[in-house]
Chains A and B, each alone.
Chain A
Amino acid sequence: MKLELRGITKRFGSLTANNNVNLVVNPGEIHCLLGENGAGKSTLMNILYGLITPDEGQILIDDEVVTIVDPKDAVNHGIGMVHQHFMLIPVFSVADNVILGSEPVKPWPVIDYKAATARLLELANEYGFEIDDPQATVEDLPIGAQQRVEILKALSHEASVLILDEPTAVLTPQETDAFMVILRSLKASGKSIIFITHKLREVLAIADVITVMRLGDVVGVTTPKETSERGLATMMVGRDVNFVVEKRPATLGDVALKVQNLYVEDARGLTSVKNVSFEVRAGEILAVAGVQGNGQTELVEALTGMRHPSSGNVLLHDVDLAGQSVRHFLDAGVGHVPEDRQRYGLIPGLSLSDNLVLDQLDDPRFRNRFGRNLKAIKAHGAQMRESFDIRAQSEESPVGALSGGNQQKVVMARELSRELKVLICSQPTRGLDVGSIEFMHRQIVDIRDSGVAVVIVSSELDEVFALGDRIAVLYDGEIQAIVPPTTSREELGLLMAGAGAAKVTQ
């Protein structure tokens, strides 16, 4: 099926999200759509999927104009979409989720679960998906598997064009590899894929055609052969981008954060951080590397007061904070940029300015005789919007309306505008585009240079190498080794896979 978008224009108030956009996707093609946060990719895809009506322009399928006013039309025309945030029912089984909306009924109104399961397995076989147990509850599955369910769901509606909105943003490196295999098999069976991503390496590895958008315009159409990471980044951002932030060697101060023999239990009562000890000096970045799910979440929670360790100490300038409240940690000067910013970092319905002071309600800057100083809070919001280049209509806009990258900027801006001694950053650039990553990295290095001890938890090796003055590798809740950033990728990879500290350090 050939899909064409012709002259699509969409305006939101004074903002032009799509300006006369043209896009052609041929059958069996993996078409990457690339652009910064807020470049208009999601708007374009929502138009194609019938969630937004364009002001101008046409959608053509096999050279015939079609009208798509809601997702049902899109599905009927063979367009399937896998959203960044999955649209699955967590408590339903895999099979139930896939048949939802098109349940096989025989005899009416009884759902024929056997036929449903058979259909699911048949589909999975056809495209080489691994489905261990069609009756497994979706919420128990790892993210990568949930995503496969989401794709299967689209395929079960006989989609011939699949829109994948930042599918790899939530995946671990291993899951991403498996995902690429799936993409290739889909392509081989003649499906067209529109793949939205920020990760240039993935684009170059898998794309047939690349369309780059910037500020609502298509700024270029290219192929992996004709371009490079640097070329793509320049097209996206409109200027040269530094992939690795320049940073001077760390000027080390006193030990700011000292973690001693820390043990932390997770929500199920299993010990997921085991005997972890490390020190971070003022003016230094410690990067904690590791595959997701090796105790990072619990470690960060223990370092920010969200979870009380079962034993061990968290010393901030020699004061033990273990077992204290979150408020205590915040007041002691611990900054926290949580991994899941939408869930843990922001109140979506409140304005940008309010979200910038969530944990600083007692700050005298934002108070006056009558309580919260709305004027000062608004002025602070405007100033932060300016200095962090947060793209929002105004500082009064609800933060939930912002794109992911801008939301992350809000969280970062909030933490950096406080008096900090230690900054704990979890996946600081997950889901961000190259321009924003560069900006975030710059901010993190700057705060380091101002004498703050920084702990970065990241599963992106590029990020770990770019930022870390030292790299601690976490595997199965234990620190395998703390190594310098000159360590090779292979060695670090081995450590992350649990190859053992002894082998490397000796």
Chain B
Amino acid sequence: MTTMTTEPPRLDAFLRFVVRARQANMFLVLVLALFVGLSFGAVMIIVTQPTLLSSWSHFFSHPGGTIASSFNTVWFAYEQLFQGAVVNFHSLRLLIDDPSKATLATALIPLSGTLTYATPLIVAGLGLAIGFRSSLFNIGGQGQVVLGGVLALLIGFSFHLTPALQVPLEMLAAMGGGALLAGFAGVLKAYTGAHEVIVTMMSNYTMIAVLGYLLIQPLFARPGVLDGASKAVGVTGQLPYFFSHLSSALLLNIGFVIALIAVFAVQWFFNRSKTGFELLMVGQNPDAARVAGIYSRRSIIICLALAGALLGLAGMLELTGVDHFVTPNFGGSYGFDAITVALLGRNKPWGVFFAAIFFGAMFTGGEAMQAFTPTNIQFSLADVIQAVVVFCVATPALLVEVFHLRGGSRLMNSTYAGGWV
């Protein structure tokens, strides 16, 4: 009798939960995107492993064995991906058995790698998100990262002040350089109508060429090497590591805190600051902004300059936190990856933060997966999974259709970059 009375409401609550869970929201989209990405990756693994693929020809005679072997391989690969990105189970067990500095350091290595890789990406993603939310498509992230890095380098090896003075000086130089470079594109757009996409994109090539030129100049080139590496930033100009007392392999540095501060700053900028609000206005409807007394020229320049400052800062963080010197490939593809990070984070500061960490995780995890899986699963698999996830998040319409989510139109209508992305 008691079960009769208690069961219906419980079922009801469960149903309500299912219905609510099917309501399209960003969290659900992310979970589904991850699911789709990993599923896609699993298919890739099975198809690219000859032994696994051939086992499928025996599917009807040994269905259990086929599925088990495929599942095991995929599971193992993803386990390595996770362990490489977050925490290694084996080193965690060692830490629990024998809590010491050495075991703690080993356990922290994967997470430290992820966050270190993510740090410049967070800041660069924030910079691009500022532009996108104001309908300005700054493609020049790479050039601004490079310029920021070069200027920070110049300060870094020229002076030997106390870190408390030199690091802020490097930041200032890098942010100023990035702001000038992107702000120049803003001036051109505001006064001549030159499209920022073209100007900033060209500035990428210009900056990469300038970097190549500088690296063969005596001022920058490291004496006695021919591989194009520059002089290194002095110790006083390097960002302090958090865990240097534990292990030299833990590269997580103050830069991560700077990135966190940047997240809060951008959050404040759009939510509370007058200028940020004006940028949103101009981005969404320049005509109405003008009626409200806002100069769109000024907004365009400010917006791009701010974006450039953050990208320059990203370059500085990469240089002083990780590399300490510059090569012709400086900055990797941070400037371009940051576009995707901004997109994945839907141009929201915290969204960008977690998107960048996801990228960092896929990078460090991908390396571990390639290194530790006996079967030749390549690093690029991590890129594939990452690409599918970004694809799904960028087109929520697709997920809404495939998984029959309710109220999807609301999600799709939520434009997050005034008509551009």
Contacts and interface: CB of A to CB of B under 8 A. Distances in A.
B98 interface: no
A405 to B, nearest CB: 18
Interface in A316-348: 325-327, 329-331, 336, 338, 343-348
Interface string B263-302: 0000010011110011011001101111111110000000
A366 to B, nearest CB: 10
A351 to B, nearest CB: 11
A216 B356 CA distance: 48
Contact of A325 (B274, B288, B291, B293): B293
A350 B272 contact: no
A105 interface: no
B290 A306 contact: yes
B39 interface: no
Interface in B141-162: none
A253 B289 CA distance: 33
Interface string A362-381: 10000100111010000000
B415 interface: yes
A361 B278 contact: yes
B280 A371 contact: no
B288 A358 contact: yes
Contacts, number: 71
B286 to A, nearest CB: 10
A266 interface: no
Contacts of B274: 361-362, 367, 371-372
A349 interface: yes
Contact of B288 (A305, A330, A346, A374): A346
A306 B287 CA distance: 10
A329 B271 CA distance: 27
A120 B415 CA distance: 38
Interface string A59-82: 000000000000000000000000
Interface in B284-337: 284-285, 287-295
Interface string B362-390: 00000000000000000000000000000
Interface residues of B, number: 22
B277 A361 contact: yes
A343 B288 contact: yes
Contacts of B268: 370-371
Contact of A306 (B273, B291, B295, B415): B291
A331 B293 CA distance: 9
A344 B293 contact: no
Contacts of B294: 327
Contacts of B290: 306, 326, 344
A350 B284 contact: yes
Contacts of B287: 343-344
Contacts of B273: 371-372
A359 interface: yes
Contact of A347 (B271, B281, B293, B295): B281
A344 B288 CA distance: 4
Contacts of A329: 293
A358 B281 contact: yes
A347 B288 contact: yes
Contact of A348 (B271, B277, B284): B284
B244 to A, nearest CB: 36
A102 B293 CA distance: 45
A231 to B, nearest CB: 39
A374 B285 contact: no
Given A326-B292, A338-B291, A343-B287, 5 more contacts: A329-B293, A346-B285, A349-B284, A354-B277, A359-B291
Interface of A: 304-306, 325-327, 329-331, 336, 338, 343-350, 354, 358-359, 361-362, 367, 370-372, 374
5 contacts: A344-B291, A346-B285, A358-B288, A358-B289, A372-B274
10 closest residue pairs by CB, A with B: A371-B272, A327-B293, A359-B292, A358-B292, A326-B293, A330-B293, A361-B274, A371-B273, A344-B291, A347-B285
